[in-house]
Structure 1
Amino acid sequence: MTEVRSLATANLTKAFGGVVALDGATVTFRHGQVNALIGPNGSGKTTFFNCVTGMIRPDSGQTTYRGQDITRRAPHAIVRAGIGRTFQLCRVFPRMSALDNVLAAVRPAGLVGQLRGARARVEVDRAWGWLTRLGIEHLADVEARTMSWGQQKLLELAGVLMSDPETVLLDEPAGGVNPALLDRIGTLVRELNAEGRTFVIVEHNMDLVMSVSDHIVVFDRGRPIAEGPPSLIRTDERVLGAYLGV
């Protein structure tokens, strides 16, 4: 059952001109766990996320989720299938309030309807709930552009969670975040995982990776070179050579 419900790829390949970003990447992320995807800059991690979530089309290979082929689906269809993601560079509406940002994330025709004032009470309550859960409810009426980078990352995550994804992909959640907010993100990931959500995290902050992850996949040059629990990855010679430069 776990295997059927996993997010997995088989021979996923993507090149940009003469540069191969993904080179036949075959990976299975474990359902119900916190998975991490690590590797040096340029190893294909974000390209992998983009292919898996339909932002770009792979040249070849396959992505499956819950046993279904999602390789050619549009991004919104992949969200409906149960996969949500954040981005390395936050995607928020800078001139909209935090509350409106979260509400916009769940309206397919949504933004237009929202600007007309067509808000369902249940959605407003859920949005407030996520803002409160992430500790930014005091910013509900504040424009996103005035928020700190870390607060914007939390806001983007709140929007993702509004779609109630079973699997959440986080692209560098620690980037530019102060230690207090970083601790909050780490705690939230573990809490949400305990409540049943699967995570896949692309991250360079090894303290965060080692503290929250159950399973780690290491990329180098567009393909996985090692995987396992943090205790094994810390001492794997291939990881030390490719990622840590030892």
Structure 2
Amino acid sequence: MSLRTEGLTKAFGGVLAVNGATVELRDGAVNGLIGPNGSGKTTFFNIVTGLVRPDSGRVLYRDRDITRHAPHRIAHAGIGRTFQLCRIFPRLTVLENMLVAVRRTRLRELLAGLRDKGEVERARHWLRRMGIEHLEDAEARDLSYGQQKLLELAAVLMAEPDLVLLDEPAGGVNPALIDRIAALVRELNAEGRTFLVVEHNMDMVMGMCDHVIVFDRGAPIAAGPPALIRQDPRVLEAYLGV
């Protein structure tokens, strides 16, 4: 099992955002994480990636306890993530964003034109995979929002993570790009990467994911293949309101 959490709990001002969440991801699969607004999905993501420390419980990655590791240590361990709102450097070019992502080239050196040829080639490889290689010299702020999402994913992949967490990859993008992102996830998964995807677009989740986890009130209430999740009465009540 690549990632497992045990009894994760986190409260903000007396409100339980995550409430004793025990979750197991399917290794080598595209895992979906769904639930109504306020069900604790993003807080769960933030705990797993070290941005938030839980009040109790553990995060285990490949049987190592990473609960209180800093975000950079978790990234180096093989976990990458994107955010609901893209985290890119708007005034850097697309290629510069890619090179900064690996953090072996200091920003001052990068802006002075000092670049590792191997890293440049690897960056261009991922830009080609995303279909935005023609934009490498454009400033990131000049890209469309969908292109910025592709850039953020490409930058995450520069670190060659084994597990990738995507936080609402379909948010704010057009249907054609949603299909493209879903296809990319499936391609990358076929190459050996495990995914955990938080997403509100149910068509995307059910069509892309092998395994779906449903959160309600800070904890999982159901998990299984999409066909079973669609019919689970607990999910229909909590998530769909029927």
Partner of 1:71: 67
Partner of 1:201: 197
- 3-state SS of 2:98 partner: helix
What TM-score results when the alignment is normalised by the length of structure 1? Answer: 0.96
Aligned partner letter, 1:189: V
Aligned partner letter, 2:97: N
Pair 1:115 & 2:120 matched: no
Give the C-alpha shift of residue 30 in structure 1. Answer: 0.9
Between the aligned partners of 1:222 and 1:40, the Cα distance in structure 2 is: 10
Q: 1:31 aligns with which of 16, 27, 32?
A: 27
Between the aligned partners of 1:8 and 1:79, the Cα distance in structure 2 is: 16
Q: Deviations over 1:78-115 (max 9, x none)?
A: 01100000000100001111111111100156323322
Partner of 2:49: 53
- 3-state SS of 2:54 partner: coil
Between the aligned partners of 1:14 and 1:90, the Cα distance in structure 2 is: 25
Partner of 1:139: 135
Between the aligned partners of 2:136 and 2:193, the Cα distance in structure 1 is: 25
- Bigger shift: residues 157-166 or 116-125: 116-125
- 3-state SS of 1:105 partner: helix
Between the aligned partners of 2:69 and 2:105, the Cα distance in structure 1 is: 19
- 3-state SS of 2:23 partner: strand
Partner of 1:7: 3
Aligned partner letter, 1:195: E
Q: 1:91 aligns with which of 87, 100, 114?
A: 87
Partner of 1:103: 99
Give the C-alpha shift of residue 146 in structure 1. Answer: 1.2
Q: 1:189 aligns with which of 181, 185, 191?
A: 185
Structure 1, unpaired ranges of 5+: none
C-alpha RMSD of the superposition: 0.9
Aligned partner letter, 1:205: N
- 3-state SS of 1:25 partner: strand
Percent identity between matched residues is 69
Structure 1 residue runs of 4+, over 3 Å off? none
Structure 2, unpaired ranges of 5+: none
Between the aligned partners of 1:8 and 1:123, the Cα distance in structure 2 is: 32
Q: 2:168 aligns with which of 162, 169, 172?
A: 172
Q: Deviations over 1:50-90 (max 9, x none)?
A: 00000111111100000000001000000110000000010
Between the aligned partners of 1:84 and 1:49, the Cα distance in structure 2 is: 11
Aligned partner letter, 2:157: L
Between the aligned partners of 2:132 and 2:51, the Cα distance in structure 1 is: 29
Q: 1:108 to 1:125 in 2, by over 3 A?
A: closer
Between the aligned partners of 1:145 and 1:9, the Cα distance in structure 2 is: 37
Between the aligned partners of 1:212 and 1:202, the Cα distance in structure 2 is: 12
